[in-house]
């Protein structure tokens, strides 16, 4: 009987540990001591056993929330390529004492860096003029999104993400991460692009009630391409499904691009 009770308690302990892991998040990078150059891409990583819901990533300094890095990330995602310092709205200045927090949206489940990291001057500013000139002959990928879609309810909307190489050299194949609210993130294989070349990804969605859905896209989301500008790879917008009597036109520009422009010239 004593052995049976011990086996039962051991089973319960294993079960509790497993449940705790399933409902926990552990930030693994940055986790303290890093010096990340502003404008360069570094991966924010975390581990978790959570299988449902979405994540939000924020930057903190001395207990103050400085802003959102990314949101609506799917539960199966455990890494995010961050253009260091870039926020959904605004940016993080150079400095120290920063921590990354990854939170399960709408739930009190989160973790942050164990210790602080620093955002430092971009390395490009520390090299000589010749090296700088070499850097700026690299490829440079930007991504644009449809920005003025107002489909009627019960109508399928075709939502486009446009990729263009505005750099001086051919880009290697890479990944485009394309998120549509309510549908999650899909990844697309982007082929090699010569300078000036463009490529388009399309997603489709239908809503049967009036609502607005966030969309966002990140080109080279795995950070495999060395670009002349690493800070212009992410863009966000939205799509509004309207009622039949509502105006289908909007004053918003037709596209919104990651380099800050609102025009598309393929």
Closest CA to 100 of 89, 83, 114, 81: 114
- pLDDT > 60? residue 136: no
Per-residue pLDDT averaged across 78-94, rounded?
93
Are the beta carbons of 71 and 107 closer than 8 angstroms? no
- pLDDT > 90? residue 223: no
The answer for residues whose C-beta is within 8 angstroms of residue 11's C-beta and 6 or more apart is: none
pLDDT band, residue 221 (cuts 50/70/90): confident
What pLDDT, in 10s, does the model give residues 157-186? 999 999 999 988 999 999 999 999 999 999
Full-model pTM: 0.51
- pLDDT > 80? residue 41: yes
Which pLDDT does position 251 carry in this prediction?
Answer: 83
The Cα–Cα gap between 170 and 153 comes to 41
What pLDDT, in 10s, does the model give residues 231-253? 899 999 999 999 988 888 888 88
- pLDDT > 60? residue 1: no
């Amino acid at each position: 009987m004593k052995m049976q009770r011990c086996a039962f308690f051991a089973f319960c302990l294993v079960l509790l540990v497993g449940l705790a892991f399933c409902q926990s998040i552990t930030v693994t990078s940055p986790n303290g001591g890093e010096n990340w150059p502003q404008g360069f891409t570094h991966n924010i990583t975390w581990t978790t056993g959570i299988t449902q819901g979405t994540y939000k990533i924020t930057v903190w300094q001395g207990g103050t929330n400085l802003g959102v890095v990314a949101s609506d990330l799917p539960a199966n995602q455990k890494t995010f390529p961050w253009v260091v310092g870039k926020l959904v709205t605004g940016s993080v200045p150079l400095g120290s004492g920063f921590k990354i927090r990854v939170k399960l949206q709408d739930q009190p489940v989160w973790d942050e860096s164990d210790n602080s990291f620093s955002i430092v001057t971009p390395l490009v500013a520390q090299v000589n003029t010749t090296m700088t000139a070499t850097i700026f002959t690299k490829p440079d990928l930007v991504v644009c999104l449809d920005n003025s879609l107002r489909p009627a309810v019960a109508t399928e909307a075709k939502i486009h993400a446009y990729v263009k190489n505005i750099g001086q050299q051919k880009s290697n194949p890479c990944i485009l991460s394309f998120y549509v609210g309510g549908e999650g993130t899909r990844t697309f294989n982007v082929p090699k692009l010569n300078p000036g070349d463009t490529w388009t990804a399309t997603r489709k969605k239908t809503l049967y009630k009036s609502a607005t859905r966030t969309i966002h896209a990140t080109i080279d989301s795995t950070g495999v391409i060395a670009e002349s500008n690493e800070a212009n790879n992410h863009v966000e917008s939205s799509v509004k499904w309207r009622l039949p009597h509502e105006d289908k036109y909007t004053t918003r520009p037709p596209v919104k691009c990651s380099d800050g422009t609102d025009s598309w010239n393929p």
